[in-house]
Structure 1
């Protein structure tokens, strides 16, 4: 089981990975397996992080069998959050 710090880091990595890969377009998604492989997040933790982010309204998830995220997409709210973070860094 991941620690609180790890769970927060996984969620941040997923949001950043989605934002960069989909280039801020909420119609473009990323497969859960690509996120897992690119970000190095264990299966159970990627499912938990996607569930959390979906509950916050930041992503939508198409789930496959076995509680696996098949496709993950940023919502409008998720894009706004990531754009705000990008503006803060400028």
Structure 2
């Protein structure tokens, strides 16, 4: 079981990866397999992080059997959050 700090880090990594891959476009997503490979997150932790982010209305997920995300996309709220974070760093 991941610690609270690890769970938060996983969620942040997922949001950043989605934002970079989609360039803020809701029509572009990332496969769960790509997230697993590129972020090095265990499948259970990826599923838990995605479930949390869906609950916050930051991402949308198409699920496969076994609770693995098939496709993950940012929602409008997710894009707004990431744009606000980007503006803070500029």
1:83 maps to which residue? 83
Moved over 2 A (4+): none
Distance 1:68 1:50 in 2: 9
When the two chains are superposed, the root-mean-square deviation of aligned CA atoms in Å is 0.3
The structural deviation recorded for 1:41 is 0.6
Deviation at 1:69, TM superposition (A): 0.4
Match in the other structure for 1:73: 73
Structure 2: 5+ residue stretches without partners: none
- Give me the whole-angstrom Cα distance separating, in 2, the residues matched to 1:49 and 1:27: 21
TM-score (norm 2): 0.99
Report 1:1-90 matches (<5 A).
Answer: 1-90=1-90
User: What is the CA–CA distance in structure 1 between the aligned matches of 2:35 and 2:24, rounded to whole Å?
Assistant: 16
